[in-house]
Amino acid sequence: MPAHEASSNGPEPLPIESAQGESPRSEAAPGEALVIEAIGLQKHFATTIAVDGVDLAVRAGEFFGFLGPNGSGKSTTIGMLTTQLLPDQGTMRVAGFDPVTQAIEVKRCIGILPEEIQTFDRLTVRELVTFSGRIRGLALDVVATRREELLELMELSSKERNKLLIDCSMGMRKKAVLCSAIIHKPRVLFLDEPFNGIDARTSIAIRALLDALRRGGTTVFFSSHILELVERLCTRLAIVEHGRVRASGTIDELRDRVGLRRDASFEDVFLASLEERGTTTTELSWLSSPSS
């Protein structure tokens, strides 16, 4: 369907087959359709092993958490899944496509909110979202309707919508880039630390948007350091450390795996799943002594 004839429900699925003539859908057991698969992913930077054999299986419609300490390989893994980095070893499929050999097809199916936002600073918020919708093949009237609905949900005023991105706060920039990432209603949305550097009100608005998106069938791949949000939002998760998956499953499954009671806090589950617990017995006497 030509872009100018796109339905108000979004562009028609692209009739694209893989180079091998395979179906673009990954095989899975009934009721267990996988939208993200990774087997043995590895990525090195010089002598640093950033990702060391990561395996992932994310089901369609999940809100999947991906968490771990700083430097554990989260952003590098997301970079490979979203076609921004080439793996040194391993295979992967996103929305049924290979990010290495079918990068364009993958990009058509996904949206990304990266941790470090780099965008067109000399566009206004409105212009950025419009541009994103148009390059996705949406008709101009569809873009205009969805854009204003998204920006309204993000509680951006008319004045803020016409502000240059270079003059926007971190929270406003994240709102704009998130709206740009989902205006085409992606099959998979990748979020890398989406709540860093934003205030509570913006956080609430983003959570409302993500909830609506997931109800519409989008799979969310969510990387965050904020354990409370992971516990509240995610249906399943994987914990990574030193570039390896240490544990994966629902929170209750992880509690069982590490031998904790069902009422144990998620913080305890997270720490118990790591090889390096990060605890310390060092005490600073001067901190606990009365001020003079």
Computed over every residue of the chain, the mean pLDDT equals 85
Residue spans of beta strands (DSSP E) within the chain: 34-45, 48-59, 63-67, 89-94, 110-113, 188-192, 219-223, 236-241, 244-249
Q: What is the pLDDT of residues 145-197, one digit of tens each?
A: 999 999 998 889 999 999 999 999 888 898 999 999 999 999 999 999 888 77
What global pTM score does this model have?
0.82
**What single-letter amino acid sits at 73?**
G
Mean pLDDT value across residues 28-40: 76
pLDDT over 90 for what percent of the chain? Answer: 59
DSSP code at position 12: P
Enter the tokens of residue 274.
Answer: 């790591």
Half-sphere exposure of 265 (CA within 13 A, CB side): 5
**Which segment of 16-20, 172-176, 270-274, 278-282 scores lowest on mean pLDDT?**
16-20
Enter the tokens of residue 76.
Answer: 């590098």
